[in-house]
Each structure stands twice: as C-alpha cells, then as structure tokens.
Structure 1
Amino acid sequence: MNTANISSSIQDYEDLVRQFYLPFNTGDVGIYDRILAPGWIDDPLSPGQQPGIEGFKAKVLEFRQNIPDYHVTNDEILVASNKVAVHSTVRSNLQKPASQNSPADSPFKMRTCDFHHIEDGKIVYTWHLEDFYGLFQYLGVIPGR
C-alpha cells in the first residue's frame, strides 16, 4: 500500500469515528444505522442499556433528554491499522443537584477514552472508559484531591 492510500484510510477511519459522537451533540441517532455494523458490540453497557445499536440509540436519547446541553468534543484521535482511539471531553450543565455540595444548573466536564474497531467501513466494536471518579470529584459528590 502506498502512502497516499494509507493517508486516505486513516482519514476515512477518523471521519467515520467522528460521526459516532455527533448524536450526543445533536440527538440524530439515525446516523448509527449507517456507521455501526449490525452486530456492533458496545463494551461495557451503561446501566439499564440493552445491547446492540437500538439499545445504544435509546441510551444516547436518554442522555439528551436528561442533560439537554450534553456536548462531546473529540480532543485527540489516533488511528492504527483498523483501530481508532479517541480521547474526548464531555461538558454540560446539570439540571438538578448531583449532591448537597453541587447546585442545580452546575457545569460539569468528564474525560472519556474510546477504542473503536472497524471492518468493511463500519464500526464493529467499541470499548470505552469514562472518568466518573473525576466527574464525581468535580461535582462535589466525593471529596476532591
């Protein structure tokens, strides 16, 4: 494979994976039917989330309903072979207090890391990790450092 093809593949994978985050910002979950493979695996599932694309769509819409200004920014994207790593920051304002130490409408941010595996132009597997410990410190739910 020449360097032009490698660059094209890297950009294609990056563009594909960027689309994964758009529904968190817009609510347009229909995009998942185009970018996720039919047997796509989300690992781990969020509490109450059903497996598969439909379960993920429902969870994203639930996020948007409970936190309307939920916004994801991709801070860094790395592509290696058919794998794409994404470091993101989630920002929003809570509509109700998270604890006695955090007022309603308090802003929050949380860092996340996701690893996507791509086959035949679709995402087949996503593993993710959210910094809930940092979020809970930020919100005053647990003591800070």
Structure 2
Amino acid sequence: MKRNLALVTAFVALAGTAFAGDKESVQTFYDLLSDPSSKQLQAAFVEVTSPDWESVGDYSGENEGRDGFLGQMGFFAKLMPDLKWDVQTMYQDGNFVTVRSRATATPTGPLFGVDGEGRSFDIMTIDVHELEDGKIIRTYHVEDWAGALQQLSGR
C-alpha cells in the first residue's frame, strides 16, 4: 500500500512538472503581447509555438499564422507602445491552458477607426491555448475590443 501511494505521489509530481512547462510556454505568449517589439520575445514565441500555429479569433475561417501574428505585433508596438497584457488566471486541463487576462494601453492614433485622443482602455480577454508535445499549436482568443472602443470614444 505504501508503495502504491509513493508511485501515485511521484506520478502527480511529474505531471505537475510537465504542466509547469506548458504554463511557462503560454506565459511567453503574454510576455510578447506586453512587449511586442522585443526581438528576444519574438524569438521565444517562435520557440514555444509550432510552425503551423494558428490564431483563431473569429468565425471567418481566416486564421492567422505565426508570421502574420508577429507582423500584427509590430503594428501594435507602434500604435500602443505602453500595451500590457496581464495574466490574471491560468488554468490547465490536459493539453489546454485557459487564460483570463487584462489588456491595457493608450493608443497613439486611431484604433479600429476610433481616435481616442489620448484616452486609455482596460479590457478583459479570454484565451484557450492548445498544446501538443510541449508546443502551442493553436490559440483561441476573445478580447473585449467593443469595450475598448467605447472607452476610447469617451462613452
């Protein structure tokens, strides 16, 4: 009986260690979002994602790949130099890591056609990252961009 308990304890410890690596990979994603112009974080993002990683953010069927996403991050770095993406909660279930986060920024120009005239936004985001063999293969995401635009328009 003691041996079985020791085996179960060892298995749980090993599984926890494996999950910790997955969460570290996912955290790299948010580190990049908070400093999108960092070449070091861009390289780290490439390291923790699969070559065919997909960003799934709507139902258009037009998912964005890694290169397109990195290009978008370059645009965000210029438009929102103070962009911060703060992880509030991270939960792992098997190969999926779910994250609730908070994005804040003060755009220096129009965001989705709305000129905030120096205003900031503070929105909630929800992401589900799918991992395979320790790499993020897909990220499903929802951001409250409507709330951001409302805040920027002063309503």
Rounded Cα–Cα distance in structure 1 between residues aligned with 2:32 and 2:79: 14
Alignment of 1:6-21 (within 5 A): 6-21=15-30
Where in structure 2 are the equivalents of 1:30-109 lying within 5 Å?
30-44=43-57, 51-96=64-109, 104-109=117-122
Kindly provide the amino acid, as one letter, of the partner of residue 134 in structure 1. G
SS of residue matched to 1:106:
coil
> Equivalents in 1 of 2:116, 2:76: separation in Å?
20
Q: What is the alpha-carbon distance in structure 1 between the residues aligned to residue 23 and residue 116 of structure 2?
A: 38
Deviation string for 1:97-141 (max 9, x for gaps)?
66xx97522121111111000011110011000112222332236
Q: Which ranges of 4 or more aligned residues in structure 1 deviate by more than 3 Å?
A: none
How far apart, CA to CA, are the structure 2 residues paired with 1:86 and 1:68? 23
Distance of aligned partners of 1:11 and 1:61 in 2 relative to their CA distance in 1, 3 Å threshold: same
Structure possessing the higher radius of gyration over alpha carbons: 2
Give unmatched runs, 5+ long, in structure 1.
none
More helix by share: 2
- Structure 1 residue 12 displacement after superposition: 1.2
TM-score computed with the length of structure 1 as normaliser:
0.83
Q: Is the 8 A contact 2:53 2:138 kept in 1?
A: yes
Q: Shift of the alpha carbon at 1:50?
A: 7.9
1:26-82 CA-to-partner distances (Å, cap 9, x unmatched) read 22222222011011111027xxx9831111100011101111111110011010001
Contact residue 19 and residue 31 of structure 1 kept, 8 A:
yes
* Residue-pair matches, total: 138
Letter in 1 for 2:146: Y
